[in-house]
A and B are shown apart, each in its own frame.
Chain A
Amino acid sequence: MRTLINIELYKIFKRPRTYIAFAAITALIVLIQFGLKIDGQTYVDFMLNDIGSTLEIDGNVLNGYLVCYIMLQLLLVHVPLLIALIAADMISGEANMGTLRILLSKPYSRTSFMLAKFIASTIYTLLLLVWLAFLALFVSMWVFGTDDMFLMKSSYVVLLKENDVFWRYIGAFLFASLAMTTVAALGFFLSVFAENSIGPIVATMSVIIFLTILSTMNIPVFNTIKPYLFTTHMISWKEFFDIQVTESNEAILGSIQNKDRILHSAIVLIIHIIVFVSAAIVVFKKKDILS
């Protein structure tokens, strides 16, 4: 199994396309950091315009923690598209190149073969997130410094103490890895049905875009299906940055407002991963391999 995973990882990282995602993330993050470093105060002033009429806010609001949060909000919607480039190519890519039959002639079961491919695409996904975390969090902390995190939500404001933020990012990235693995599982599942890479890649992207729109549209008729869409749960990483308050409105250090929502979303995502991967294995096992 380990050999199979190593082979798959070797194949993934030998393809130039793999590095498109890393390059795209690097370019985007550096661009946002540059923009915020040059003119971030204008952005912050604009955000604080409403609350600033009542309160004086003193401190380094635009610090590395806030910059990272802004970037994650922007990027975690688009990273799935980059993951689809690899995950949706895992089987269809082999079929396209005509190497699938040769691979299956090796003394490994189809299940092992599929699991190795899925684990390899998951490792790629995790590495992409580690790279994202390094650039968005650590580089931002270095460039913008650290302070309390002043998070402006649409109807309330959360102030997290500096020493209460880092662990939330660890939680958020772990959750994001689960969300991105779900995307990888979807792409992997769709790749079983095609003989070329483009189809499953575009199909994965389309499904994500379609479901994301459904998840974000506030139309009552869609509200009943929203809880079942994995895209609804992919954004639950944000819950790590909401804090509980006491009766007297005092924030409780180290608390999370909606722990249950995180747990519920994690379970929904894990179920999706299991269903997609199992379905991919079942379909692949029954499939006539002709290429």
Chain B
Amino acid sequence: MQKLLILFLFTVHYSLFNSVSAQDATALVMKVKAKLDQVSDYEADGKMKTNVAFIKAPIGKVKIFYKKPNKFRLKKDGGISLLPKGGVSVNMNSLVTTDEFVALAAGEAMVGGVKTTVVKMLPTNENSEVVLTTMYIDETNLLIKKAVTTTKENGTYEIEMSYGKFASFGLPDKVVFSFNTKNYKLPKGLTLEFEDNEKPLTEEQKLRNKKGRVEITYTSYAINKGIADAVFK
């Protein structure tokens, strides 16, 4: 009888605790969303650095456009751009959506020396491309410091944000995308490089080849000035 009572109390406590956590997490996400909702649209200038072991690319200027509810475009200011597949199109607003997602609290963690609340976003739609998103939210300032998204098609990518001048709008000064890359190798017959000047890759280089980073440093934002829909086509 005593054992049954303990089990009953534990079950009640556990279900209550989790229910509150889920509500808290949803409320937190809604608060962050409300902050971001101040921004109807923005056009930002930035610099993009692609850091993938098998790519030698210079820093390029980029323009970033956003318009409510979920229009986003990153455009290189002339030239060819290399972006992680599916990753860069993820913006703040797409992360904090609660439509078709369930938010669950998952404890606390330190990100860049800041205490954050960890929120796991689970899709309710089984056809969703996103399998799971874990957000690290600075509850005091209502800022997303980090997000780790696992997708069905494009693997897992991590987005880390640093804030500065535009923190009051929830917009970052710097975004770092980390993603997995596959080993790059093209047959020499295809690249017409028949000379053999290459040394075989070391284990360390092979490991480095599997991780990529794209850093976008925002230099300016033009917020709520209006953007034509044609920009996103």
Q: Residues on A close to B: CB < 8 A?
A: 47, 50-61, 70, 73-74, 147-148, 150, 152-162, 164, 215-216, 218, 232, 235, 238, 242-243, 245, 248-253
Q: Would A59 and B81 be within 8 Å (CB), given that A157-B184, A249-B56, A250-B58 are in contact?
A: yes
Report Cα–Cα, A156/B193, bound state, in Å.
12
A291 to B184 Cα, complex, angstroms: 61
Asked, given contacts A148-B80, A152-B191, A153-B191, whether A159 binds B182 with beta carbons under 8 Å apart, the answer is no
A-B contact pairs, 26 of them (CB 8 A): A53-B182, A54-B52, A54-B181, A55-B85, A56-B81, A57-B80, A58-B75, A58-B76, A59-B79, A73-B192, A147-B80, A148-B80, A153-B193, A154-B193, A155-B185, A155-B201, A156-B55, A157-B56, A157-B184, A159-B56, A161-B58, A216-B195, A249-B56, A250-B49, A252-B58, A253-B58
Q: Once the chains are docked, how many angstroms separate the CA of A232 from the CA of B195?
A: 8
A215: chain B residues within 8 A (beta carbon): 195
Interface pair A159/B55, CB less than 8 Å apart: yes
Q: Which residues of A lie under 8 Å from residue B20 when comparing CB positions?
A: none
CB pair B85–A53 under 8 Å, yes or no, is: yes
Inter-chain contact A251/B56, CB cutoff 8 Å: yes
Closest 8 CB pairs of A and B: A59-B80, A216-B194, A159-B57, A148-B79, A251-B58, A148-B80, A73-B192, A156-B54
Chain B, residues 62-87, CB within 8 Å of chain A (1/0): the string is: 00000000000001101111111110
With contact pairs A154-B186, A155-B54, A159-B58 given, residues A57 and B195 touching in the complex (Cβ less than 8 Å): no
Q: Please name the residue on chain B nearest to A253 by beta carbon.
A: B58
A245 to B59, CA, bound (A): 11
Chain B residues whose CB sits within 8 angstroms of the CB of A242 once the complex forms: 56
Knowing A57-B81, A147-B80, say if A250 contacts B59 (CB, 8 Å): yes
Complexed CA–CA distance, A218 and B198 (Å): 11
Complex CA distance for A164 and B198, rounded to whole angstroms: 25
Interface class of chain A by DSSP: mixed
Question: Contact at B188–A154, with CB atoms within 8 Å?
Answer: yes
Q: A159-B82, A245-B56 are in contact. Are A59 and B76 (CB under 8 A)?
A: yes
Binding site for A on B (CB under 8 A): 49-60, 75-76, 78-86, 88, 179-182, 184-188, 190-196, 198, 201, 212
B47 to chain A, nearest CB (A): 11
Count of chain A to chain B residue pairs whose CB atoms are closer than 8 Å in the complex: 128
Other than the given A148-B80, A150-B80, A232-B195, 15 more pairs (CB < 8 A) read A47-B190, A50-B184, A50-B185, A53-B182, A54-B180, A61-B80, A148-B79, A154-B198, A155-B185, A155-B186, A157-B57, A162-B78, A215-B195, A243-B58, A249-B51
A152 to B189, CA, bound (A): 12
Q: Determine whether the beta carbon of B212 is less than 8 Å from that of A54.
A: yes
B156 to chain A, nearest CB (A): 13
Find chain A residues with CB under 8 A from B56 CB.
Answer: 156-159, 242-243, 245, 249, 251
Tell me which residues across on chain B come within 8 A of A73, comparing CB atoms. Answer: 192
- Determine if A50 and B191 form an interchain contact, defined as CB atoms under 8 angstroms apart: no
With a CB–CB cut-off of 8 A, which chain A residues contact B182? 50, 53-54
